[in-house]
Structure formats: structure tokens, C-alpha cells
Chains A and B, each alone.
Chain A
Amino acid sequence: MEFERRDAPFLTPKVDVASIMRQVLYAMIPALAAHVWFFGPGIVFNLIIASVFCLGSEAAMLKARGRPVRPALGDYSAMVTAAIIAFALPSLTPWWVTATASIFGIVVAKHLYGGLGFNIFNPAMAGYVVVLVAFPMHLNLWTAPRMGDIDYQYPTIIETIRYTLTAALPADLGFDAVSRATPLDQMKTGLSNMQTFDEIHNNPMMGSFGGRGWEWVSNFVALGGIWLMLKKIIRWQIPLGVLAGLMIPSGIMYWADPGVHASPGFYLFSGATMLCAFFVATDPISAATSPRGRLLYGAGIGFLIYAVRRWGSYADGVAFSVLIMNMAVPAIDYLTIPRIVGHDKFEKWHHKSRT
């Protein structure tokens, strides 16, 4: 009898890239729901726009590079980029801002570097930084979170759609009426105006750690992240690195002088800390690769986030920190090669042939 020939191993792997990416998307669903609850339906429109442009640029680039389009679109990696961009942008964002971030992320940061697996920079963060620099005004328009006791006029769904399409607010609503400084912004301006941390934190917009509403979105992001860790889609090193890298310096500063420094808890549950720790920094392609390297990589990001928030001119520093550490990855990888079993234990090697 004749048989087919194959290479060992003959057991088949149970995982694949598409299922990993799909689970990353599932893990964002609770945070998406929280985001809609606190900041309105804007993120949904952003997500749709980002998905259209991410998938569109992905398909166009694959075609231009002469690669098969269908299997690559089916790996959901462009969808993950779209989702992260949607989470990074304010809920009220004109479509061209979202589109620019998506196109730059996929075309330049991903495909010009060789496509999936070869990109040095996190595509979503590269795209986000471009619009942060190019459209600073639009990136500052964060609405206030939905809190029963705050007197604030929330844009309706129709108004949100109109703003997304045209960047035009209703005639009776000025820019200032809609936008609210984010908790990180308030902290930054407050501290630079010589207010103490407690003073700023007593503002009704502040919650138990970060801003009210904001911290709840963070909680749900972290929940999704922990689920991914339990599913072993992401490992603990990078999230722990980011959180510790942020907590340790902020903790030391806060402990040294609690008046002029924000508490580590505030930093952990504000801005995009959790999104970064569980969904952005954990992008394996642009991260360091050995377990120790990942801890170091995460810690670097965490520390840089703190540095930007405390001393930089931007309120949040996630995107910059991630991109800077992306650049450090080759060096980290080189410095953290694990000791191979059987090496560096014996000075004298016995050069014998193995059988």
C-alpha cells in the first residue's frame, strides 16, 4: 500500500493567527460597551470608519505588493489596528481624522515595512501620532462622561453622526460647551498652576482613582486584558511591565511629595494606560520577544508614559512611549537572549560527536 509523505510533527496545531486576533477583538467588547455608555455612540462610528479604511488600505497594499488579499484580510490583524485607533480617538472625531490615522498606520507603518510580521512600529500608534500632530484641535475634543449628577449637554446620535461627517456642531452648541478637559489634562494644568493633587482630585469630575467614567472604561479594558491573559493570548510580562513601570516612579514621587505629584492610582486608571498595557504594548510583532525582554520593554513604556505625563507637553504619552520603545526592541532582544540549556555551565567542552 502507498502513503502520503509529510514532515514531522504529524499532530496538527490548534491555534492560528486569525483566532488570536479574533479573540483580541472579542476582549474589547466590554470596554466598547462601557465607552458607548459613558461617551456616547461616537466610538462606534469611529470604529466603522477605521475598519473601512484599515481593511481598504490593507487590501489595496496587498494588491499593490502582489500578495493574496483574501487570506491576509481574513487574519483580522487590520481589524485589531482599526479597533485600537477607534479607542484612542475621542468619541467625537471627524471621519477624515480617523481615515488618516488608519491609512497611515496600515500603508506606511505596516506595509511599507513589509506587512504583517515585519512592521517595526505599532501601526495603530503610528497612525494616531500622525493625527495627534496634524489635527491637534480635533484630538482634544473629548466629551464629558455620562454622569447623572453633572450638568452637561450630551450630543445626540444625529449630532454625533453629523459631527463625524462634517465636523460641524449644532448651532446652539459651541465647541466649549461640548468639550471637557480630560482628567489627565486637568491634572496637568492643575499641578502646573500650583494646585495640590488633593485639590484637583476633589473635583466632581474625578472618581476614586482616575476620572469618573474614564476609570470605568479602564476597568473594562483591563477585564478584557485579563481574559486574554487567561486564554494565554497575551503573556503577563508586558502588562505587568507597563503597569509597574508607571507605578513605581509615580509611587516614589507621590510618596516623596504627595502635594505636587499625582498618585500612582490616578495614573493607572487614567487615559490609555490600561489600553496600552493590555492591547497596544502587547502587540507581539512590534514588541520584544523574550520573556525578560518583554518585561523590560513594558517597563520602558510605563516609565516613558509617566515621564511624558509628568514633564512632557502632552497630557497622555502612550503613543510616543510605545513608538520609542518599538525602536529599542532590537537592542532589548539582543540584550535579553535567554541562556540556552547546557551553555555557560561547563568551562570545558567535550567535543564529541552526537549520535
Chain B
Amino acid sequence: MTAPTFDLGTLHGGLRLPILKDESTAQVIQHVPVPAQLVLPLAQHAGEPAHPVVSIGERVLKGQLIADADGIISAPVHASSSGKVVAIEQWPVSRRLGENAPCIIIECDGLDRAVHLSEPIVPFEKQSPNILFQKILHGGIVGLGGAVFPTAHKLMEATTESLEHLILNGVECESYISCDDMLMREHATAVVVGAQILLHALRLDHCFIAVESDKPQAIRALADALSEVQDDRIAVKQIPTIYPSGAEDQVVQLVTRKEVPTGGLPTDVGCLVQNVGTAAAVYDWVCKGEPLISRVTTVTGDGVASPMNVKSRIGTTVADVVNFIGGYTDRANQLIIGGPMTGRSVTTDRVPLVKATNCILVLSASPQIGAEKPCIRCGDCAQVCPVLLLPQQLYWYACADNEPKLRSYGLTDCIECGCCDLVCPSHIPLTADFRSAKLRMRELADEKARAERAKQRFETRTVRLEREQLQRAHELLKQKEQVKKAGPKAIEDILERSMQPSEPDKDE
């Protein structure tokens, strides 16, 4: 059932970005074959990195646990094909800027032999929510929309709040990216059943699948899948095609007309948001026994020969993926992991495709835009800001490093969508400036906390020393008084005693 579009909240500002998705949606999802080598970072999720449970030289099977969750918030990593662990070492990754991160390197044997499931598949309706949470945790499933927060933790945390809706986010508002669109078109049932599993685990009976209005095929596929399973708890909701309607808080605002409070989470307004890809991954794991070892990724841009969506094993390097689709064009100049608005550019294609990689964007050299000019306060940035900030004022205070003003003008509410950058006639890199201002603010807060701790330590020490001194003085006084009371004879006794060589007391 497709809900009409008028029953929606509104989003302030936003941009109509060029869509640029037709190239990558022209053909069905292609499967990248097993590569010669897999690079699996230990930290593919928010929270603590996983710790390796295999050793170098060990043979592993597809789906086998190779690094287990470690710490309160973490997620395990599974081998995405069979082969031999050849190294556990630092490798360039896309998540940390210009840095390497520990990865498990597997040399594949090409046989792609799967591990035997430790437990039989039980229909999800027969499993209790707690068992399902544990299962989802063990499947290494994380939010595939980009934040890669471990799904099990998000679900368990949500159960402590009073929830109304589950929202599956199928809104891909960035240019170029079409992996969720293709997933919904081709695997709508997986998404819908995934939603049913999540509803069951959360004991909820209402779910919206939010999809942009420019994805009619995905909407039709979902409607077909829904009529097949006959589940009226789930409804598709069309969202206007405007960037950044797919950001978590913005989806909530559009679907429910409720604003997520500052510093809060969607659960504060009774919503839990999961990416449609995450729901499909939950389905694959719970119903088919396949942990999160592969995902759909859009490979596109004018820097690749034939843009398309591919399903590839997690850990396949970008170089291998691009090779599979026909390589780079001569114009390839920038490699971006993620979308053109919020992605990260990397310097090498040796980085592996990880759980978070929704898009590999290869672009030609960007046209030379003029140098940064002074802000003319035109206010276009404020017109497009989806959270109603005044970027022109924030910029001013960021330049002046005025932390209290940055706070009161809501720097921490900035979702770093990049809309303001794109409309700035002075070509000021606002989002980058805000990002570094946030970083400075955090550093400043840390420094303050450190200074506060040092101050406390110093004060406690001073108090202790004073107390000790006082005690000593007090004791001395007491001794003096005792001596005085005892009279001169006692003093002589004491002196005499102190002169004699000490010997053990025999009796009192």
C-alpha cells in the first residue's frame, strides 16, 4: 500500500541536487567474483574494534567468525570467503582519514566454501526478542546507511524507550547513489521480511518504509512484496526528492512531523530508524543463515567505464571492484567513498569495501572554482539549512573561535550535510570549517575536563597536606601538655631512657 504524499512533515531548506543515478540503475545488480585477497578491517562499525580470533596461517571458511565483538558496543567480523589468513596488519582504510587501521588479510582459495551453521534456522516468529537480539549481534550486522552503529545495540537500547514506529530508511537523497534503490527493486521481499523480523523483535506493530518519490520501481516492488506477505503493519511512505531528506533525523521529521530533540535520538520521539539494507541483512542472517559478509554498492561517476551496482564481498578492495566493472576511464582523478555530499575522498584504491561502503564514486578533476572570498552575508546558506541554523553567523564565530557563541548558534546541531557549501557564492568551505570547529570544541572540552581534574587533584592534595599538618601540630601540642603534666621528673626519666641502649621490653 502506498500512502499518499500529503500526510508528511516538512523539511526546511534543502537542495534539489542533480540526480545522476540513471547510469548505475541501467542494469541489475552484478556479483563481483571472489577476489584473490580479502582485507577485513577490525573496525567496520561504530564503537570498539573487534578482536581477532584467528591466527596467521589459519584456514577459514566463508561465514566463519574471524574477529569477535569486544567491549560494550562492538560487532563481530566474519570471513567473506574461504582461504588462509596471511596477515593481521595495518592497511589503508576509508573510515579514518589518511590513516591505516588493523585488518585481517585473507588469501582466498577461490572455492568459497561456507562454514556449517552452528544452529539450525528457526522461523523468527518462534524466537524471543532477546534471542533475536543476540542473533543479530552475532551476525555482525550494523547500520548500513552509513553510521554503522551495531544494529543489535540500537535495537536493545530502543526497547528501553516507548516506541511507536519502526522506520525503514530507503531514502537515498545524495546524487549518484542507487544501491538501496536497486536492493528494494530486486530484493523487496528481503526488506519486507526484515521489517517483520525487526517488528517482532521490538514487539512493535507499525512500520513505515520511507522511499523517495523518484523511485517508482522500488515503490512498486515493495508494494508487490507487501501484498504477497499480507502484512498491514507495514506501509510505504513516499518522501519528496530533496536533499538531505534521507538523514536519520530528517526522515523522522518527514514521516512523523516530529523533530528529534537536540542532542537526542529518534527514539526520543518514539521512532527507530533502520536502513532498508540493514533490514535485508537481518533477513539474510535470521532466515538464511548468512552473516553480513557482502553488500550492494554503487560504483559510479565519470571516472569508471561502466557505472553499475554490484554485490561484493566485504573486504574486496576498491581496485578489484573497479576492475570487475571494466576499470577506470582516463579522466579518473578523485576517488570518493560515499556520496558526493558527505563522502570521503581517499588517495588509494587499495582500501577495502567495508560494511559502510554504499558508494564508490570516481570523478574527473573538479572544475577550478575561484578562491575563497569574504562572506557577503547573502544568507543563502541559512535558506537551505535543513536544521535552520545560520551558517553565516556560525562561520563568523568559527573564524573568531568564539566557543560560547558557536554553542548558542547550534554548531553541535549541524548535520554536516554540505548544503550551505553548495550555495555559497563566496565558495567558503563551510562544512569543513564547521567540522574542524566541532573538533576544536571537543578538544577544548577535553582540555577543560583535564584541567578540572588536575585542579581537583591539586585541591585535594592541598587539603590533605593542611589536615596532616594540623594533625601533627595537634599531636605535638598534646605531647607537650602530657609532658608538662607529668612534671620535671618525668622529663628526666624520658631523657634517661632515650640515652640507654634500647632493649626489648620484657613486661609492661
The interface of chain A, by Cβ under 8 A from chain B, is: 1-13, 15-20, 71, 75, 77, 115-118, 235, 284-285, 287, 289-291, 294, 333, 337-343, 345-346, 349-352, 354-355
Contact = CB atoms under 8 A, between A and B. Distances in A.
A337 B409 contact: yes
Given A3-B334, A5-B345, A11-B175, A290 B264 contact: no
13 contacts: A3-B335, A5-B345, A8-B345, A9-B431, A17-B425, A20-B378, A284-B379, A290-B390, A341-B253, A343-B261, A349-B263, A351-B263, A355-B147
Interface string B1-19: 0000000000010000110
Nearest to B426: A17
Given A2-B348, A13-B427, A340 B389 contact: yes
A2 B374 CA distance: 33
B264 A6 contact: no
Contact of B334 (A4, A75, A352): A4
Contacts of B427: 13, 16
B319 interface: yes
A4 B379 contact: no
Nearest to A334: B393
A273 B253 CA distance: 42
Interface in B383-417: 383, 386-390, 392-393, 409-410, 413
Contact of B370 (A16, A117, A235, A351): A16
Contact of B413 (A289, A290, A337, A340): A340
Contact of B319 (A1, A11, A20, A77): A1
A222 to B, nearest CB: 21
A4 to B, nearest CB: 5
A350 B261 contact: yes
A9 B375 contact: no
Contact of A342 (B249, B335, B421): B249
B415 to A, nearest CB: 9
Interface in B237-257: 249, 253
B484 interface: no
B262 interface: yes
B374 A115 contact: yes
Contacts, number: 189
B262 A10 contact: no
Contacts of A4: 333-334, 345, 347, 365
A282 B383 CA distance: 16
A115 B371 CA distance: 17
Interface stretch (B128-136, B180-188, B336-344, B497-505): B336-344
B268 A3 contact: no
Given A1-B349, A339-B388, 8 more contacts: A3-B349, A6-B334, A9-B340, A10-B361, A16-B370, A77-B376, A342-B260, A352-B264
B261 A8 contact: no
B352 interface: no
Given A1-B319, A3-B334, A340-B410, A20 B342 contact: no
Nearest to A9: B418
B332 interface: yes
A329 to B, nearest CB: 9
Contact of A6 (B366, B375, B388, B389): B366
B262 A291 contact: no
B328 interface: yes
A354 B268 CA distance: 12
A9 B334 contact: no
Contacts of B432: 7-8
B32 interface: no
B413 A10 contact: no
B422 interface: yes
A290 B382 contact: yes
Given A5-B98, A13-B425, A20-B425, A75 B264 contact: no
Given A9-B341, A9-B422, A11-B341, A17 B369 contact: no
A17 B388 contact: no
B228 to A, nearest CB: 34
B120 interface: no
B386 A118 contact: no
B48 interface: no
Contact of A116 (B12, B338, B348, B374): B374
Contacts of A342: 249, 259-262, 264, 387, 413
Given A9-B431, A337-B409, A340-B410, A284 B376 contact: yes
Interface in B317-333: 319, 328, 332-333
A333 B259 CA distance: 25
A109 B128 CA distance: 73
Interface string B259-273: 111111100100000
> Which of B263, B265, B328, B425 has the most CB atoms of chain A within a 10 A radius of its CB?
B425
Interface in B416-447: 418, 421-427, 429, 431-432
A294 B382 CA distance: 12
A118 B374 contact: yes
> Which of A8, A116, A290, A291 has the most CB atoms of chain B within a 10 A radius of its CB?
A8
B377 interface: yes
Contact of B377 (A5, A20, A289, A337): A289
B149 interface: yes
B341 A8 contact: yes
B409 A1 contact: no
B373 interface: yes
Nearest to B328: A1
